[in-house]
Amino acid sequence: GAVVSQHPSWVICKSGTSVKIECRSLDFQATTMFWYRQFPKQSLMLMATSNEGSKATYEQGVEKDKFLINHASLTLSTLTVTSAHPEDSSFYICSARPTGLGFEQYFGPGTRLTVT
Amino acid sequence: GNSVTQMEGPVTLSEEAFLTINCTYTATGYPSLFWYVQYPGEGLQLLLKATKADDKGSNKGFEATYRKETTSFHLEKGSVQVSDSAVYFCALNQAGTALIFGKGTTLSVSS
């Protein structure tokens, strides 16, 4: 149980285009999901906290107009990278916290984004 | 603010060697502590956790004890295998907030 999926697992896009990444909790409901970014050989940096039915809370330095987060249901959160640039190339990872079951989080496998 | 500091790698060991990866934290109150592992090309997996002082988390031969007096949560394994080669992340959270990760330690085990 407690499986989180991400789609796509990898994507290549051209500079200036937008890319949407989906994060789904497959066998549980998640009121809260988190989006992280991981640069090569570095740690995960929290980008934003996504709560179902409300606006996401972004960490300092993360542009909310560039990284659009939507958490429309208890099993799905999406991250849209708008007007992507090569510096947005990274590994994006989501995690989901089961509703009402403590504070454990389950991670998706990540999405590799390459902007050319 | 809260933070996690873990020893820098890479750590290179021979099979069956003893492993220690140090992790210390800074936090107000009583955080929960975690070790995650990331195998090559895969996502993060929870390895073990401890939610209060003196708790010992253990899994797959790995252990870590929550030491509040030294604010540490060092990861240990008595005999590593080649299949343990991965990146290990120490992390903490409090009251349901997002996890705060250390920078990760790469472990490479050779036969």
pLDDT band at B96 (very low <50, low <70, confident <90, very high): low
Give A-chain residues touching B104 at CB under 8 angstroms.
41-43
Using an 8 Å Cβ cutoff, are A33 and A95 in contact?
Answer: yes
pLDDT band at B65 (very low <50, low <70, confident <90, very high): very high
Give B-chain residues touching A43 at CB under 8 angstroms.
89, 101-104
CA quadruple B52, A4, A66, A45: dihedral sign: positive
Burial of B43 (0-12, 13-18, 19+ CB in 10 A): buried
Q: Inspect the interface and report whether the beta carbons of A46 and B100 lie closer than 8 Å.
A: yes
Task: Kindly give the parts of chain A with pLDDT less than 50.
Answer: none
Preferred mutation among B101, B105, B106, B107 to probe A, highest tally of A CBs within 10 A: B101
Q: Inspect the interface and report whether the beta carbons of B93 and A103 lie closer than 8 Å.
A: yes
CA distances from A38 to A46, A101, B7, B29, B44 (A): 9, 27, 18, 28, 11
Q: How many whole angstroms separate alpha carbon A55 and alpha carbon B21?
A: 38
Q: How far is B86 from chain A (nearest CA, A)?
A: 12
Residue A99 has what pLDDT? Answer: 84
Residue A1 has what pLDDT? Answer: 66
Residue A39 has what pLDDT? Answer: 82
Q: Would you list which residues of chain B are within 8 Å, Cβ to Cβ, of chain A?
A: 32, 36, 42-46, 49, 89, 93, 95-104, 106
Residue B102 has pLDDT above 90, yes or no: yes
Residues 6+ apart with CB under 8 A from B29: B94
